[in-house]
Structure 1
Amino acid sequence: MISPDTVRVMEALQADGGDARFVGGCVRDALVNRPVLDIDIATPLKPDEVIARLNAAKIKHAPTGLKHGTVTAIVDGHPFEITTLRIDVNPFGRHAEVAFTDDWEKDAARRDFTINAMSATMDGDVYDPFNGVEHLRTGRVVFVGEAEQRIREDILRILRFFRFYAHFGQGRPDMRALLACSRLAGEIVKLSAERIRQEIFKLLESDRSADVWNIMMHAGVVTHFLPEATAVPVLSRLIELEAARHHQGKAFVLRRLAALLDITQNCVPMVIKALKLSNDQAAQLATLATPTWKVSLRMSVKEVEQLVYRLDNDMVRSLLLLASARENTREHFDELYQAATAFRAPRFPLVGGDVLKIGWKEGPDVGRILGEISEWWMEQGFKPGRTECLAKLLENYPNNPDPKPAWLAKKE
């Protein structure tokens, strides 16, 4: 928050007596020494005044939400969302009608949780009208104002409550908030799949997600948007395994989601639809939850290497983590996980052109034949070279217009 780009934007807004502060998540994260990813700025300046000051400072900008008072400044490719102080006139979730104000406390009062209602100056002075600093210190996620009313303004706040509790909470959740979430959980069905997915994925990034998911289930929340996701013990064991393996960086949320699923015939398609996953996300979840090839800790190292060839190292490691969590055992896990990490799959020596050269025409038979030869090659431990694979191809498929083509005869 003190980078040259940030200073440049703040100085532009504060020129000639203008006022601007950092608000929301960037203040919260800075106070607990977490990486600040997005910087949001609030100001009493109206949007046209903000634009004029950015123009004067030769800072690029985009009118990303003028109706709600938001202008995005862009410095060296970094966005800074600048929003005029406002109050909600008619709160309707993302479509609330707002009126601009110059009252910082009224603007803070429209925010969801006390830990998100703080603001800070460039000099580091923190303004905290709702005791957010103390709540952050003690791990309490508390609504600003009356919980049920704030949820009715935007039902997504139910999922946001559990997401922030997973990342910042300690001890038991705030009971008034929990009861309000439970009472209004049936309204979650009105939310778009995209908004639900975004919150759930962020929640699953937390290493406390299994405990929080269990609370959500007991509060009757999960059944309204993802009733297939109830395998909390599996998720808990998976997170322990990830920690033991020193997994760094952002959690692989699709693996954690797969761990939660009670696998039935239509489970995965229903989850894909409920969360409106992208094609790539859907394919990954299907592989993680219901892999085509059987995965267990009773596999041999050879079978693990074959699976790495079919998929890739990362996916096989994920499948082994899930297998260990589901089977509730670590027997043979370390050996197989090491094999999945160390093995580097070689390139199959044959290509489609080799099948065409022995007389087959283009079409599905080419892929089928290559698949059969590659299965043999894998069973041989990936050892046969190109010459041996070509010989196996001719041995298995001798009935063709030219049993021994000239190009092969010359090599002999």
Structure 2
Amino acid sequence: MTDSPAAAVFAALAANGVQARFVGGCVRDAVLGLPIGDLDVCTPARPERVMALARAAGLKVVPTGIEHGTVTVVADHVPVEVTTLRRDVETDGRRAVVAFTDDWAEDAARRDLTLNALYLDPDGTVYDPIGQGLADARAGRIRFVGNAETRIREDVLRILRFFRFWARFGREPPDPVGLAACATLADRIPSLSGERVWAELAKLLVARRAAEALGAMAESGVTDRLWPGSTDVARAVAVIGLEQSLGLQADAVRRLAAMIGGAGGAEPAASRLRLSRAEADRVRRALSVAGGPAGGDPERRARIYRTGSRAYLDARILFAAAGREPADTLVHDRDVAQEWTPPRFPIGGDDVAALGVPPGPGTGRLLRLVEDAWIADDFTGDAAACRAKLAALVDQGRQQQ
């Protein structure tokens, strides 16, 4: 926050008498001594004036959300979002019509949570217009600004943000007033875009207190509104515990797969959340790949070869999370999945053609038979051995004709 990019933005504004302060997450994280992510700045100056002053100082300007008063000023290749102070004129639960203001308290009053309604001068002076944000941030209290139901009706996504911020920062039990408001308005969650829901849920799922937050969401009826079909919060909580016991990095997509109630729920959930193609494919595989215990390392390697190491480990963890197997049996699965690199099948279609087999479906059938035998032999056969097996199959087929 004191580096040259931010300093350049503040200097461009201050040189013309424009006041500006850091706002929101970067202030909260600075107060808590956490690493700073995105830099957000607010000012009473209108976006047109911000752009003119920034350009006059030689800085690049991108009007990223000018209708809401936001422009991105780029200094030394670092983006700094600068937003004009605002008040809400009209809201519909998904988006707001805003009017610009020069009142810092009005801007603070429209924010979601008290710990996000903090402002910071470049000299280090913290401003807390609500009068609760600084104490709440330091105490790990997650509370809505003003009336909880009013804040949620302005933007229903704030239900998920309440639980997400509690999962990350909360040190006290969830605020009962906030919980009650989330429960009352949970039926509005389907009105949100899937992208927004998944963006919040993905962050929540890897937060420090994700398991407890999911439990509170389930009790409030929130998880039942995330996508069509059932949810399995207990299995997701179990997966969180298994990942921790195995020393695995928190994985939002694996935890999401665990939340989905069975393989049949993969498509509705992926469609509702607008998952990327890779995310949706991983969820499908995690829920469809057989996760039963392997008989030994050759079978483990065979299954990893056919499904991929990540899909194999996902399925095994979900299988254990359903209470079908002790968690300690997964340690060796983890080690094999992480340490063994599947080899490449050493022959292909050219080898079949070299034996005089005409192109067609028979080529694939022969290669699959040889590959199955190669896998059954624990991948020990080299190219010569596989070609010998292939030649034997071709001879056998000709003798049977």
Instruction: Tell me if both proteins adopt one fold, taking TM over 0.5 as the criterion.
Output: yes
1:262-411 alignment, distance < 5 Å: 262-263=261-262, 266-291=264-289, 294-326=290-322, 327-398=324-395
1:238-277 alignment, distance < 5 Å: 238-248=239-249, 251-263=250-262, 266-277=264-275
User: What SS does the corresponding residue of 1:40 show, helix, strand or coil?
Assistant: strand
- In 2, Cα distance between the equivalents of 1:365 and 1:122? 72
Kept in 1: contact 2:94–2:157 (CA 8 A): no
How far 1:358 moved relative to its partner?
2.5
Cα separation, partners in 2 of 1:375 and 1:89, compared to 1, 3 Å: same
- For 2:55, the equivalent position in structure 1 comes to 55
- For 1:206, the equivalent position in structure 2 comes to 207
- For 1:166, the equivalent position in structure 2 comes to 167
User: What SS does the corresponding residue of 2:395 show, helix, strand or coil?
Assistant: coil
Larger displacement relative to structure 2 (37-46 or 353-362): 353-362
How far 1:228 moved relative to its partner?
4.4
Cα separation, partners in 2 of 1:143 and 1:356, compared to 1, 3 Å: same
- In 2, Cα distance between the equivalents of 1:33 and 1:303? 49
Kept in 1: contact 2:254–2:283 (CA 8 A): yes
**Residue 185 of structure 2 is aligned to residue 189 of structure 1:** no
CA RMSD of aligned residues (A): 2.3
Determine what percentage of the aligned residue pairs are the same residue: 40
1:28-39 alignment, distance < 5 Å: 28-39=28-39
Kept in 1: contact 2:294–2:300 (CA 8 A): no
- In 2, Cα distance between the equivalents of 1:74 and 1:363? 58
Kept in 2: contact 1:217–1:230 (CA 8 A): no
How far 1:191 moved relative to its partner?
1.3
Kindly provide the amino acid, as one letter, of the partner of residue 211 in structure 1.
E
- In 1, Cα distance between the equivalents of 2:57 and 2:357? 68
- In 2, Cα distance between the equivalents of 1:2 and 1:361? 71
User: What SS does the corresponding residue of 1:383 show, helix, strand or coil?
Assistant: coil
1:101-250 alignment, distance < 5 Å: 101-130=101-130, 131-226=132-227, 228=229, 230-248=231-249
| TM-score, scaled relative to structure 1 | 0.90
- For 1:84, the equivalent position in structure 2 comes to 84
- In 2, Cα distance between the equivalents of 1:33 and 1:315? 38
Specify every segment of 5 or more residues in structure 2 that has no aligned partner in the other structure, as ranges: none
- In 2, Cα distance between the equivalents of 1:364 and 1:211? 53
Larger displacement relative to structure 2 (361-370 or 6-15): 361-370
Cα separation, partners in 2 of 1:298 and 1:102, compared to 1, 3 Å: same
How far 1:356 moved relative to its partner?
2.7
Q: How many residues align?
A: 398
Kindly provide the amino acid, as one letter, of the partner of residue 366 in structure 1.
T
User: What SS does the corresponding residue of 1:220 show, helix, strand or coil?
Assistant: coil
- What per-residue deviation string (whole Å, max 9, x for no partner) do you get for residues 289-310 of structure 1? 221xx22334421121122222
1:8-23 alignment, distance < 5 Å: 8-23=8-23
- In 1, Cα distance between the equivalents of 2:284 and 2:273? 13
Specify every segment of 5 or more residues in structure 1 that has no aligned partner in the other structure, as ranges: 402-412
User: What SS does the corresponding residue of 1:16 show, helix, strand or coil?
Assistant: coil
- In 2, Cα distance between the equivalents of 1:331 and 1:46? 60
- In 2, Cα distance between the equivalents of 1:120 and 1:227? 42
Kindly provide the amino acid, as one letter, of the partner of residue 262 in structure 1.
G
Kept in 2: contact 1:359–1:400 (CA 8 A): no
- What per-residue deviation string (whole Å, max 9, x for no partner) do you get for residues 21-54 of structure 1? 1111111122223332211111111111111111
Kindly provide the amino acid, as one letter, of the partner of residue 213 in structure 1.
L
Kept in 2: contact 1:297–1:324 (CA 8 A): no
Cα separation, partners in 2 of 1:212 and 1:355, compared to 1, 3 Å: same
Kept in 1: contact 2:29–2:36 (CA 8 A): yes
- For 1:407, the equivalent position in structure 2 comes to none
- In 1, Cα distance between the equivalents of 2:173 and 2:251? 26
How far 1:400 moved relative to its partner?
8.1
How far 1:361 moved relative to its partner?
4.3
Kindly provide the amino acid, as one letter, of the partner of residue 274 in structure 1.
R
User: What SS does the corresponding residue of 1:398 show, helix, strand or coil?
Assistant: helix
- In 2, Cα distance between the equivalents of 1:385 and 1:99? 72
Kept in 2: contact 1:320–1:337 (CA 8 A): no
Kept in 2: contact 1:59–1:75 (CA 8 A): yes
- What per-residue deviation string (whole Å, max 9, x for no partner) do you get for residues 72-115 of structure 1? 11234432111111111112345322111111111111101101
Cα separation, partners in 2 of 1:400 and 1:375, compared to 1, 3 Å: closer
Kept in 1: contact 2:214–2:237 (CA 8 A): no
- In 2, Cα distance between the equivalents of 1:393 and 1:198? 50
- What per-residue deviation string (whole Å, max 9, x for no partner) do you get for residues 168-219 of structure 1? 1123211111111111111112112122111211111114222211111111
How far 1:270 moved relative to its partner?
1.7
- In 1, Cα distance between the equivalents of 2:360 and 2:115? 61
Cα separation, partners in 2 of 1:58 and 1:28, compared to 1, 3 Å: same
- What per-residue deviation string (whole Å, max 9, x for no partner) do you get for residues 124-182 of structure 1? 21111221121122221111111111111111111111111111112321111111111
